């Protein structure tokens, strides 16, 4: 295409520079090793138990219940991240206030502490008689010990930081000049937020929400302490609070390796399918946040 | 079209103080804001646009005080550095944006007209990331006009554009001024385009207005070192430089004619027939061809003086270290620091 007299040429699509074969081989070997580390355990899981066991488990009421509970509670955790973590990310990105650095470190704390500690902390806060908020949870009718709300609470605790951090970075990356241009073109603060800030930050925010969801689904440490129906068939008659990871852990604990492998495989298939859908949606431009980068 | 009056505007940004600035902008007039980096040019524009709070002064649009109005209500089209296009919208949807958010009727039709007018129709479905600098610029103008502003305020429109795109933009802006007499405030570093577009100039230095005058006055009599360099004076001396290393006949001669801040003069012509007196002698430091002949730098009493040999230049060129005699027409000397202001715009 001729661009004579049109100013700066548009940048051509970038191709990586050609590199030497040795360097390329090294890259392939290193990333290949890592990929193997990811794939081999999955391969082992899938091959340990026959496909018939996988189907049988997919039809098992306990497995289905655990799967449903996992998606339900992690869904609420994602919703909580949307409601609380995104605004917090915005606050941290846009406002200067004393102690902001401290707040930022506190937000990152759940990412770095072992999750058993999270469970213990919540346990001492909410569950043991005489705990600071024990009466409160009883009074408002949201007891957390061995309840779905306990599961949700643990999940939010460990997973929300990912959305806070991702949305803070995304909001900060939005070009202030684009925002100012839109304001002077007639957009009020709310319109500018909805038509400029949010669409431009959405890609990073969605990535954060995906991480939040993944973290919530894979949680086990905190759950084992606060809200896990650990012994299937035991004397406990309360609500079922077994998420899929706890369910698999239980199977493993009682020595049912074949079923543990089968349920794990089942879950892997579902999780992988979900990620694939999001990725494909992103590539196709169906999801909005990459549109500016795509050639129509 | 509106008339804008900026009256004693002052603003503070961290430790930077701007103003007071007075401006009158009538339909069809353009003011160029000049100044070195950090002089307060962008701060002035952002204050006008409503992104920075004014500390003192007023902004009047057709007599209405809009000093406290939010940016979206001012009817002022602010084009920031880099154009501020929405990267997630196509060219067409960028141009339609101001009409879309205000629910204007016939937005689609008006968008098409603007795209047509700025030769953007073939690019309508492209995203900004895929446009050249000149194309981005036309989108920015089309979008600014779509908002039907009463004033366009443009920060560095020519930044990072090549020579041809600059020329194109000059043409587009000139066309626009003839069809839509919207007043404009333009920040620029580019003298050629500033002179081609602006009727008057506002020169800022460290937040203060150093000079405010029309194009002819700026050309003829720059009052400060920045303006002098901007309009093409090669020989610009601060007073401390002139007084620096003791007295010599040449320095004394210049100091006697300098203003409070120094002195500027265009390159004296170097020709044998020079009659100006007295004649000075300098040692050649460089000689290079330029569009206007040969530019020769000589050193006189530790001061660098740029001279010009008008074409046609007959070889040989002056050689390094050679001694040259030249004269300076006293009438060409421009004292700096004598403050004079005429109302800009108006």
On the 0-12 / 13-18 / 19+ scale of CB atoms within 10 A, A211 is: middle
B261, pLDDT greater than 90:
no
Question: Angle B22-B23-B27 (CA atoms, 0-180°, nearest 5)?
Answer: 165
Q: Work out the pLDDT band at A76, boundaries 50, 70, 90.
A: very high
**Are B324 and B232 part of one and the same domain?**
yes
**Are B249 and B202 part of one and the same domain?**
no
- Read off the pLDDT of each residue in B240-258 and give the average, rounded to a whole number: 82
Using a pLDDT cut of 90, give the percent of chain B over it.
25
**Are B278 and B147 part of one and the same domain?**
no
**Are B41 and B101 part of one and the same domain?**
yes
Q: Number of structural domains, chain A?
A: 1
Q: Write the pLDDT tens digit of every residue in A176-208.
A: 999 999 999 999 999 999 999 998 998 889 889
**Are B44 and B110 part of one and the same domain?**
yes
**Does the distance separating the beta carbons of B101 and A181 come in below 8 Å?**
no
Q: Number of structural domains, chain B?
A: 2
Which of B101, B135, B143 is facing A195, going by the closest CB pair? B101
Residues 234-273 of B with CB under 8 A from A: none
Q: Which of B181, B196, B225 is the last residue of a domain?
A: B225
- The answer to the question of residue A277 being in a domain is yes
Mutation target to probe the B interface, by most B beta carbons within 10 A, among A184, A198, A205 is A184
- The answer to the question of residue A104 being in a domain is yes
B309, pLDDT greater than 70:
yes
Residues 26-65 of B with CB under 8 A from A: 46, 49-51
- The answer to the question of residue A82 being in a domain is yes
- The answer to the question of residue A169 being in a domain is yes
Q: How far is A98 from chain B (nearest CA, A)?
A: 17
- Read off the pLDDT of each residue in A156-167 and give the average, rounded to a whole number: 94
The pLDDT value given to residue B336 = 87
- The answer to the question of residue B194 being in a domain is yes
The pLDDT value given to residue B275 = 58
**Are B219 and B79 part of one and the same domain?**
yes
Q: What is the CATH number of the domain that holds A233?
A: 1.10.3720.10
Q: Work out the pLDDT band at B342, boundaries 50, 70, 90.
A: very low
- The answer to the question of residue B177 being in a domain is yes
Q: Work out the pLDDT band at B272, boundaries 50, 70, 90.
A: low
- The answer to the question of residue B343 being in a domain is no
Which of A10, A181, A195 is facing B79, going by the closest CB pair? A181
- The answer to the question of residue A10 being in a domain is no
Q: Output the six-digit token pair for A36.
A: 């193997």
Non-local CB neighbours of A211 within 8 Å, separated by 6+ positions: A159, A162, A163, A166
Collapsing DSSP to helix, strand or coil, A103 comes out as: helix
Q: What is the CATH number of the domain that holds B96?
A: 3.40.50.300
Q: Write the pLDDT tens digit of every residue in A8-19.
A: 445 555 666 677
The pLDDT value given to residue A39 = 92
The pLDDT value given to residue B330 = 81
**Does the distance separating the beta carbons of A188 and B72 come in below 8 Å?**
yes
**B130: which chain A residues are within 8 Å (Cβ-Cβ)?**
10, 295
- B283 is in which domain, residue-wise? 226-336
Q: Output the six-digit token pair for A231.
A: 């012994």
- Read off the pLDDT of each residue in B167-196 and give the average, rounded to a whole number: 82
**A7: which chain B residues are within 8 Å (Cβ-Cβ)?**
132-137, 161-162, 164-165, 168
**Are B169 and B245 part of one and the same domain?**
no
Residue A18: count other Cβ atoms within 10 Å of its Cβ: 6
Non-local CB neighbours of A184 within 8 Å, separated by 6+ positions: B49, B50, B71, B72, B74, B76, B77, B78, B147, B153
**A178: which chain B residues are within 8 Å (Cβ-Cβ)?**
80, 84-87
Chain B contact for A287, CB < 8 A?
Answer: no
Q: Which of B194, B225, B256 is the last residue of a domain?
A: B225
**Are B150 and B231 part of one and the same domain?**
no
**Are B106 and B220 part of one and the same domain?**
yes
Q: How far is B224 from chain A (nearest CA, A)?
A: 31
**Are B259 and B179 part of one and the same domain?**
no
The pLDDT value given to residue B47 = 92
- Read off the pLDDT of each residue in A210-227 and give the average, rounded to a whole number: 89
Residues 80-99 of B with CB under 8 A from A: 80-90, 97-98
**Does the distance separating the beta carbons of B161 and A7 come in below 8 Å?**
yes
**Are B128 and B82 part of one and the same domain?**
yes
The pLDDT value given to residue B276 = 56
- The answer to the question of residue A17 being in a domain is no
Question: Angle B265-B271-B274 (CA atoms, 0-180°, nearest 5)?
Answer: 75
Question: Angle B18-B20-B23 (CA atoms, 0-180°, nearest 5)?
Answer: 110
Mutation target to probe the A interface, by most A beta carbons within 10 A, among B45, B59, B84 is B84
- A109 is in which domain, residue-wise? 51-113+146-284
Q: Which of B164, B199, B225 is the last residue of a domain?
A: B225
- The answer to the question of residue A150 being in a domain is yes
**Does the distance separating the beta carbons of A7 and B137 come in below 8 Å?**
yes
Q: Output the six-digit token pair for A132.
A: 């600071």
Q: How far is B69 from chain A (nearest CA, A)?
A: 11
- The answer to the question of residue B341 being in a domain is no
- The answer to the question of residue B192 being in a domain is yes
The DSSP letter of residue A229 is: -
- The answer to the question of residue A295 being in a domain is no
Per the omega criterion (within 30 degrees of 0), is the bond before B316 cis?
yes
Which of B79, B89, B165 is facing A7, going by the closest CB pair? B165
**Does the distance separating the beta carbons of B49 and A188 come in below 8 Å?**
no
Contact A196, A173 (CB under 8 A): no
**Are B294 and B212 part of one and the same domain?**
no
Helix (H) or strand (E) holding B10, with range, is: strand B4-13
- Read off the pLDDT of each residue in A257-272 and give the average, rounded to a whole number: 91
**A182: which chain B residues are within 8 Å (Cβ-Cβ)?**
84, 86, 97
Mean confidence (pLDDT) of chain B: 85
- Mean pLDDT lowest for which of A285-294, B59-68, B257-266? A285-294
């Amino acid at each position: 295409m001729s661009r004579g007299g049109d100013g700066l040429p548009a940048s051509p699509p970038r191709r990586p520079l050609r590199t030497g074969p040795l360097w390329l081989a090294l890259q392939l070997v290193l990333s290949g090793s890592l990929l193997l580390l990811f794939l081999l355990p999955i391969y082992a899981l899938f091959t340990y138990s026959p496909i018939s066991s996988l189907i049988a488990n997919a039809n098992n009421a306990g497995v289905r219940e655990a799967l449903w509970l996992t998606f339900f509670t992690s869904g609420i955790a994602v919703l909580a991240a949307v409601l609380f973590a995104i605004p917090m990310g915005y606050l941290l990105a846009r406002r200067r206030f004393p102690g902001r650095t401290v707040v930022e470190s506190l937000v990152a704390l759940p990412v770095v502490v072992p999750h058993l500690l999270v469970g213990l902390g919540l346990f001492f806060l909410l569950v043991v008689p005489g705990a600071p908020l024990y009466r409160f949870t009883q009074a408002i009718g949201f007891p957390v010990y061995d309840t779905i709300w306990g599961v949700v609470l643990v999940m939010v605790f460990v997973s929300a930081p990912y959305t806070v951090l991702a949305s803070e970075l995304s909001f900060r990356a939005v070009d202030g000049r684009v925002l100012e241009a839109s304001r002077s073109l007639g957009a009020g603060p709310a319109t500018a937020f909805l038509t400029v800030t949010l669409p431009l930050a959405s890609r990073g925010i969605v990535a954060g929400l995906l991480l939040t969801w993944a973290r919530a689904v894979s949680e086990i440490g905190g759950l084992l302490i606060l809200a896990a129906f650990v012994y299937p068939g035991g004397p406990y008659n309360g609500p079922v609070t077994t998420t899929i990871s706890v369910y698999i852990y239980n199977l493993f604990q009682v020595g049912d390796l074949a079923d543990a492998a089968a349920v794990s495989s089942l879950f892997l298939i579902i999780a992988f399918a979900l990620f694939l859908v999001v990725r494909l949606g992103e590539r196709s431009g169906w999801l909005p946040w990459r549109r500016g980068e795509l050639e129509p | 079209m509106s008339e804008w009056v900026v009256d004693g505007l002052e603003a503070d940004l961290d430790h930077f103080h701007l103003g007071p600035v007075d401006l009158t902008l009538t339909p069809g007039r353009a003011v160029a804001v000049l100044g070195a980096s950090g002089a307060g040019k962008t701060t002035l524009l952002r204050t006008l646009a409503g992104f920075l709070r004014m500390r003192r002064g007023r902004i009047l649009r057709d007599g209405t005080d809009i000093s406290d109005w939010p940016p979206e209500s001012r009817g002022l089209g602010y084009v920031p550095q880099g154009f501020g296009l929405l990267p997630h919208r196509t060219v067409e949807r960028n141009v339609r944006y101001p009409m879309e958010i205000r629910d204007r009727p016939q937005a689609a039709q008006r968008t098409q007209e603007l795209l047509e007018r700025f030769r953007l129709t073939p690019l309508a479905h492209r995203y900004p990331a895929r446009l050249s600098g000149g194309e981005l610029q036309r989108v920015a103008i089309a979008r600014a006009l779509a908002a039907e502003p009463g004033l366009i305020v443009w920060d560095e429109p020519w930044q990072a554009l090549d020579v041809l795109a600059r020329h194109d933009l000059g043409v587009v802006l000139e066309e626009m001024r003839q069809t839509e007499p919207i007043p404009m405030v333009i920040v620029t570093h580019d003298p050629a385009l500033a002179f081609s577009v602006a009727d008057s100039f506002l020169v800022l230095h460290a937040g203060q207005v150093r000079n405010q005058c029309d194009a002819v006055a700026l050309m003829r009599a720059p009052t400060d070192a920045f303006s002098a360099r901007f309009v093409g004076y090669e020989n610009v001396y601060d007073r401390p430089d002139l007084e620096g290393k003791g007295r010599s006949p040449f320095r004394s001669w210049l100091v006697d004619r300098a203003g409070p801040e120094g002195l500027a003069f265009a390159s004296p012509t170097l020709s044998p027939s020079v009659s100006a007196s007295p004649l000075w002698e300098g040692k050649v430091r460089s000689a290079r061809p330029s569009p206007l002949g040969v530019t020769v730098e000589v050193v006189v009493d530790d001061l660098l003086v740029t001279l010009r040999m008008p074409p046609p230049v007959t070889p040989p060129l002056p050689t390094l270290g050679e001694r040259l005699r030249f004269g300076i027409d006293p009438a060409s000397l421009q004292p700096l620091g004598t403050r004079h202001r005429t109302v800009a715009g108006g």
